Structure 1
Amino acid sequence: MSAMLSAVDEPGTDRTAPTASPGPATVTRESLADLLHDLELRTVEDFRAVAGPARRAERVAAEHGWTDLRKRAELVTGDVLGRLGQVADQGRIAKSVNMWAQEHADRYLLARSHRLLAIFFRRLGDAAEALTHAVPGVEYADVMPPLIRASHLITLALVLDLNGSFEQAQERFSAALEIATKHDAAPMVITILNNMAFTAYENEDGAAADELVARIRRIAAEHTLVLDGLYLDTMARISMMGGRPAEALEILRPVLADPDGPLVTEGDALPECLLTVAEAHRLSGQPEQAREALDEAARLAGERSLASVTARVHEARAELHALTGDFAAAYAEYRLFHAATEKLHSVQREMRARAVQAVFETAEARLATEQFRQLALHDPLTGIYNRRHVDEQLERLAGSATRDGTALSVALVDLDFFKRVNDTFSHGVGDQVLRRVATLLGDAVAEPALAARLGGEEFLLVLPGADPLAATAACERLLETLRRHPWQDLTGSLPVTASIGVASFPHDFGSSGGASGSALLTLADHNLYAAKHAGRNRVVHGALAP
C-alpha cells in the first residue's frame, strides 16, 4: 500500500500557486530564501515541478557564495530524487548537508537534513535509525516557520508509527494538524488527516478511519481541492474494511475513468488502485471483473518495473483462484508469489546496502576516517572487498611489480551455471551461496593477497608475488575446496563449481613492457572465457601467452 508514502514525506501548499525561478539579475538573498521556503513546502504537491527551480536556486546560491542557501536547495533536490526512486542519492545528499550543518552549527539545515535522513532510513525500512534523525529534526525546527515545523512533526509521527508508538504518533499528528488548521493550509490538513486515516486503517479502527475520511471529504469540498489517486485508494480500502466494496469501487471510479489524468500523480498509483479494485470485485462476488483488474495491474507493473506490485498480483490471483475452486491454479500462483517475493527481498537487501553505503561514502569524503573507508571498500552482500577497492589497489600493485621486477597474478573466478541456483531455489539461497563462496575465497588467500567481489557471481583474487605456477596451484586448490564443500543444505544435489582465468606479470607480457591492472584483468577475462569454453569447472592460464 503506497497511499501513505505519497504525501507523507513533506506536506504542501496550494498546488495552483505558481513557483517562480530565481532570476539572475534581480535575485537577492531574501528573495532566494523565500523561493526555497516555497519549494520546501510544495515538494509533495508537484515534486517534478520543483526539481528545475531547485537546481537553478542551487546554481544562483553558489554564484553568490550563499552556501547555506545552496545546501537548502540541495535538500530539495534530494527529496525529489528520493521520490523518483533514487534513494541512495537522497541519502548521500542528506548526509553531506547534515555534516556541513553540524560543522557550522546551522540549526535550520540541521533540522532539514535530519528530517531527510529520517525519510531516507524510513524508505529503507530501518525504523530505529529513522527515529534517531526524526527526533532532532523536530528539536532543531524551533527556528523554522510554522508550516515547515509542522512538516517535521508529520515526519516524526510517521516514524513513531513505524516503530509501533501509535499514541505518540497521534500526538505529533495532532500538533501538526493544529498548526496547519491555524494557518488555513488545507492541503497540509488533508495530508495529515490522510495519514491518520491510514494509521487507523492499519490498526483496524474502522470508526476512527471513517470519521477521518468524512473530514477529508468536507475540507476538500470547502476548498475545491481534488484528491489524487493515492488519497482515494486509502479511502477505498477503508470502505472495504467497513464491508462496503461497492462504495470502494465508486470512490476509485474517477481514477479508472482517466488512467492518464491528473489524479494519477505517481508511477505506482494506478496499479495500487487496480489492486484495490480487484479486491473490491472479489468481495462483491465478481471474479471476472477482479481478474481483468489484476491483469491490467500486472501489465502496468511489468512496464514500470514495480516488483512489489507484481508479487501482490500473484497473491491476489491465488486468492481469486481459491475463491472459484481452482486450487491447482491457486497453488501455481502462490508459488509465483513466493518466488517473486524472494527475488524482491534479495533486490531490496542489495538496494538498501548500496544506499547505506552511499551515505557512508559521503561521510568518508568529509571525515576521512578508516571506519567509513572500510565500509565503502567492501561489498555490501558478502563483506569482502568490492570493485572500488580493486581499482584502487590493482594499479598500485601493478606499478610496484613493474618497478621492482616482481611477479603479480590475478584470477577471475566465475561461478558455473549460477542462474540455476536462483531459478531452482530462490534468490535468497543464491545470496547465501555467494556469501559462502566469498568466505571460502577469503580463507584461500593471505595478505598481501586479497579477494573481492566484482558483481553478480564474479569474484577476483589478486596474488602479489605469485608466478604462473603458484597462482595456478592456488586456484586449483580453491576449485577443489568448492567441489568438496558440503553445499547440500543450500543447493541439494546441485553442485557449486567455478571457472577461473589467470593472468600473470611478467610471464604474460613478454617484452611488451610494464604491467597495468586493466591489462591483467583483460588477459584474465580471456582466459576465463577459455575455461568456460573448455567445459567449465577448471583453471586456464596462459591462453594468450606469447
Structure 2
Amino acid sequence: MAVRDVSLDPVQQLRRELDELDDLVGMDPAEGARVARSLAGRAWDLGARGALACARVWEAEALQRDGDGAAAAAAVAAVRREHPDLTSELRVRASWVLARSFTDIGDRPTALEHALDAAAAFDDDVPQRVRTRVLIKVADLLDELGAHEDSRSWYRRAEELALGDAQLHLLVVNNRAYCELERGDVAAARRELALLKELSRRYDRPLNANTLDTVARIHLLCGDATTAQEVARAAVRTSSAMEIKNADDLPVYLLTLAVAQRVLGDAAAASQTLQEARAACTGVGFADVRTQILEEQAEVFAALGDLRAAFETHKAFHAADKELLSEQREAQARARQAMFETDVAREEAARYREEARRDPLTGLGNRLFVDERLPELITGFQVGGRLVSAVLLDLDHFKTVNDTFSHEVGDQVLCVFAGILADAVVRFPDSFAARLGGEEFVLVLASDDEGFAARAAEWVRRTVAGYDWSAVTPRRGITVSAGVATLDPAGDKASLLSAADARLYAAKAAGRNCVVTR
C-alpha cells in the first residue's frame, strides 16, 4: 500500500490508497479484502462517505475474486442500500461485481441482467478499462447462454475499446477463444490461437497463465496433447505471477495438465497432478473445480486399470455434482435475499419471491410455498365451512431409478410426475401441487365434495401406473403410493400433514402402488 505522505490531508491520503487498492484486489484478493475493510474503517472515522462507498465496493470485488460470490453480492446490496448516491464508476463496478458473483453461483440469466445494467450506466467518467471489462463480461455470458452471434458482437466492441492495452486486448481474445473452444469449433479456436500469439509478439508481452491454460485446452481440442502438456506446465509455473487472480486459478491449470498427461498415456503423473489440484482447493469457492477434478480422477483410475476405483470415483463425481447444484441454489437464494433491499431488487422482488417458492426442477411449489399457502387455505376454508385435504405422494422405489439409470433420468421422471400432479389440480384454483423434497410430493385440495381428494389421488395413481415410461426408463414402470387426509374442524397444518403422512406409510406397508384414505 501507499507510503503515508505528510503533505496530504487524511482524506487525500485515503483516496490515494484507494486508488492503489485496484491492483491489490486483483493480485491478492484475500489481502485486498482485509485492506479494503481497514480503509472503510478510516473513511467512516473521517466521515468521508464517498471513500467509504469506494472501499466497500472494492471489498465486494475482493470477496468475489476469493471465491465467495454470495458474500460479494450481499456486500454490494449493503453498499447500494446505504449509498444511493454512488458515482457512475462505482455503480458500474457494483453491477459488474454482481454479474461475476451470480456467474460464480450458477445463475447466468441474473448475471447477464447485472452486466447489462453495468453497460447501461456507462458515461465519460467511467474509465476505459472498467468499460472494457464489462463488455467482456456481457459477451462471456451471452455465449454461455447460447446467444453466440450477439456474443461475438460484444466481443468486437470490447476489442475495439481494448486496442493499445496489451492486458485487456489479450483478455478479450482469450475469452473469445475459450468460447470457441467450449463450442468445439476447431477452426475458430485455431484462428483465435494464432491471434493470441500474434498479439503477444505485437505487444512484446508473454501470455499469462490464464491464457496459457486456454492455449493448452485448444491444443487438446486439436489433438496435440504433447504441446498441451508443455503449455499447461507453463501455466502452472507462471500462475503466481498473474496480475489478476481468482481463487480457483491454480487448480484449474493443474486439471488441464492432468488431462494432457492422461491423454498422453501417463496416468500415474496425471494422478499425482490431480492430487496437487485437490490440495490447492482450500477455503470457499472451489466446489465447481473439485467436481471437475473428481470427474477426471475417474478417467485416470480407468486408465490405470483400477476399474473399481474408477466406478466409485464416478459415483462420487455425480454426488458432488448434485451437491454443487444444491449449493449453487442455496447461494443464489442468499444472494437474491441480500439484493431485496436494493433499488434493483425491489423492482424484481415479486419475481424473486415467486422463484424462492418454486422447486427449480419441476416448477411446482416447494416446501416454503406449502408452509405459507396451506395455513391461508385452512383459515379461509374453516371460516367458509369447506373441506381442505392433503394427499402425500411418494414415488415407489425411486432410489433404484437413480441407481439403475442415472440422476438425470430420475429428474426426468420427477418432471413427468410433476406434470401429472399439475394436471390433477389445473381446474381447481384453490388447490395446488408441490414438491416437498426428493421424490415426496403433496396435493392440497379444497372442495365441498368429501370424496374428491380420494378420487384425485386414485386418478394420479392410475395415471402414473398407466403412463408409457419406455422412453424414460426402458423396461421399468413407475408407480406411486399415496396417503389422503382431510382437515378436522379443530385441526391445523401440522395435524393434517401428519395424518396424511401416516396413511402414506400405511400405503407403503401395504405393498405400495396404492392409496390409503383411512
Instruction: Tell me how far 1:366 sits from its aligned partner.
Output: 1.7
AA partner of residue 404 (structure 2): T
Query: After superposition, what is the alpha-carbon deviation per residue over 1:131-183, rounded to whole angstroms, capped at 9, x for unaligned?
Result: 6654553453435463xx413312313533644555863663463464xx6xx
Identify if the C-alpha distance between structure 1 residues 200 and 71 changes in structure 2 by more than 3 Å, giving closer, same or farther. same
Instruction: Tell me how far 1:301 sits from its aligned partner.
Output: 8.1
Is 2:460 the partner of 1:484? Answer: no
**Aligned equivalent of 1:472:** 454
**Aligned equivalent of 2:513:** 537
The 8 Å contact of residues 95 and 117 in structure 1, kept in 2 or not, is answered as no
- Which of 156, 160, 170 is the aligned partner of 1:193? 170
**Aligned equivalent of 1:142:** 123
The 8 Å contact of residues 503 and 520 in structure 1, kept in 2 or not, is answered as yes
Is 2:29 the partner of 1:47? Answer: yes
- Which of 371, 394, 402 is the aligned partner of 2:374? 394
The 8 Å contact of residues 527 and 540 in structure 1, kept in 2 or not, is answered as yes
Q: Give me the TM-score of the superposition, normalised by structure 2.
A: 0.70
AA partner of residue 193 (structure 1): L
Identify if the C-alpha distance between structure 1 residues 354 and 34 changes in structure 2 by more than 3 Å, giving closer, same or farther. same
Is 2:100 the partner of 1:116? Answer: no
Q: How many residues align?
A: 485
Identify if the C-alpha distance between structure 1 residues 314 and 364 changes in structure 2 by more than 3 Å, giving closer, same or farther. same
Query: After superposition, what is the alpha-carbon deviation per residue over 1:31-83, rounded to whole angstroms, capped at 9, x for unaligned?
Result: 77666655555433222334455567778989999887776666555545544
Identify if the C-alpha distance between structure 1 residues 381 and 55 changes in structure 2 by more than 3 Å, giving closer, same or farther. farther
Instruction: Tell me how far 1:529 sits from its aligned partner.
Output: 3.9
Query: After superposition, what is the alpha-carbon deviation per residue over 1:82-101, rounded to whole angstroms, capped at 9, x for unaligned?
Result: 44655566567768978999
Is 2:131 the partner of 1:152? Answer: yes
**Aligned equivalent of 2:430:** 448
Aligned-partner Cα distance in 1 for 2:267–2:39: 52
AA partner of residue 156 (structure 1): L
The 8 Å contact of residues 503 and 523 in structure 1, kept in 2 or not, is answered as yes
Aligned-partner Cα distance in 2 for 1:500–1:61: 62
Instruction: Tell me how far 1:119 sits from its aligned partner.
Output: 3.1
Identify if the C-alpha distance between structure 1 residues 255 and 496 changes in structure 2 by more than 3 Å, giving closer, same or farther. farther
SS where residue 142 of structure 1 aligns?
Answer: coil
**Aligned equivalent of 1:12:** none
**Aligned equivalent of 2:155:** 169
Q: Give me the TM-score of the superposition, normalised by structure 1.
A: 0.67
Aligned-partner Cα distance in 1 for 2:176–2:431: 54
**Aligned equivalent of 1:3:** none
Instruction: Tell me how far 1:486 sits from its aligned partner.
Output: 1.9
Instruction: Tell me how far 1:451 sits from its aligned partner.
Output: 1.0
Identify if the C-alpha distance between structure 1 residues 302 and 282 changes in structure 2 by more than 3 Å, giving closer, same or farther. same
AA partner of residue 310 (structure 1): L
Aligned-partner Cα distance in 1 for 2:48–2:497: 46
Aligned-partner Cα distance in 1 for 2:468–2:49: 58
AA partner of residue 437 (structure 1): F
Instruction: Tell me how far 1:341 sits from its aligned partner.
Output: 7.8
The 8 Å contact of residues 398 and 439 in structure 2, kept in 1 or not, is answered as yes
Is 2:416 the partner of 1:436? Answer: yes
Aligned-partner Cα distance in 2 for 1:364–1:503: 43
The 8 Å contact of residues 357 and 369 in structure 2, kept in 1 or not, is answered as yes
Is 2:291 the partner of 1:307? Answer: yes
Instruction: Tell me how far 1:430 sits from its aligned partner.
Output: 2.0
AA partner of residue 251 (structure 1): A
Instruction: Tell me how far 1:400 sits from its aligned partner.
Output: 3.5
The 8 Å contact of residues 353 and 381 in structure 1, kept in 2 or not, is answered as no
Aligned-partner Cα distance in 2 for 1:479–1:61: 65
Is 2:502 the partner of 1:496? Answer: no
AA partner of residue 486 (structure 2): S
The 8 Å contact of residues 119 and 155 in structure 1, kept in 2 or not, is answered as no
Within 5 Å, give how 1:11-90 maps onto structure 2: 17=1, 39=21, 42-52=24-34, 75-76=57-58, 78-80=60-62, 82-83=64-65, 87=69
Within 5 Å, give how 1:279-428 maps onto structure 2: 279-281=259-261, 286-294=266-274, 305=287, 306-314=290-298, 344=321, 351=328, 355=332, 359=336, 362=340, 366-367=346-347, 373-403=353-383, 406-428=386-408
Within 5 Å, give how 1:258-269 maps onto structure 2: 268-269=248-249
Aligned-partner Cα distance in 2 for 1:27–1:454: 57
Aligned-partner Cα distance in 1 for 2:442–2:364: 11
Query: After superposition, what is the alpha-carbon deviation per residue over 1:305-362, rounded to whole angstroms, capped at 9, x for unaligned?
Result: 42233334445677x57xxxx8x97xx9799979968994996599479849965983
AA partner of residue 115 (structure 1): W
Aligned-partner Cα distance in 1 for 2:246–2:347: 37
SS where residue 411 of structure 1 aligns?
Answer: strand
Aligned-partner Cα distance in 2 for 1:100–1:247: 50
Aligned-partner Cα distance in 2 for 1:500–1:364: 43
**Aligned equivalent of 1:516:** 492
Identify if the C-alpha distance between structure 1 residues 176 and 412 changes in structure 2 by more than 3 Å, giving closer, same or farther. same
The 8 Å contact of residues 200 and 208 in structure 1, kept in 2 or not, is answered as no
**Aligned equivalent of 2:256:** 276
Aligned-partner Cα distance in 2 for 1:67–1:516: 51
Instruction: Tell me how far 1:506 sits from its aligned partner.
Output: 1.2
Aligned-partner Cα distance in 2 for 1:57–1:536: 64
AA partner of residue 506 (structure 1): D
SS where residue 468 of structure 2 aligns?
Answer: coil
The 8 Å contact of residues 350 and 380 in structure 1, kept in 2 or not, is answered as no
Query: After superposition, what is the alpha-carbon deviation per residue over 1:459-500, rounded to whole angstroms, capped at 9, x for unaligned?
Result: 222223478754334323322222122222211222222233
Instruction: Tell me how far 1:444 sits from its aligned partner.
Output: 1.3
Moved more, 267-276 or 356-365: 356-365
**Aligned equivalent of 1:8:** none
SS where residue 383 of structure 1 aligns?
Answer: coil
**Aligned equivalent of 1:11:** none
Aligned-partner Cα distance in 2 for 1:398–1:69: 53
Query: After superposition, what is the alpha-carbon deviation per residue over 1:503-538, rounded to whole angstroms, capped at 9, x for unaligned?
Result: 43216xxxxxx4332443344444444444444333
Instruction: Tell me how far 1:440 sits from its aligned partner.
Output: 1.0
**Structure 2 segments unaligned to the other structure (5+ residues):** 182-188
Aligned-partner Cα distance in 2 for 1:415–1:518: 22
**Aligned equivalent of 2:234:** 251
Is 2:443 the partner of 1:461? Answer: yes
The 8 Å contact of residues 261 and 270 in structure 2, kept in 1 or not, is answered as yes
Aligned-partner Cα distance in 2 for 1:216–1:316: 39
**Aligned equivalent of 1:107:** 88
Aligned-partner Cα distance in 2 for 1:75–1:415: 48
Within 5 Å, give how 1:1-16 maps onto structure 2: none
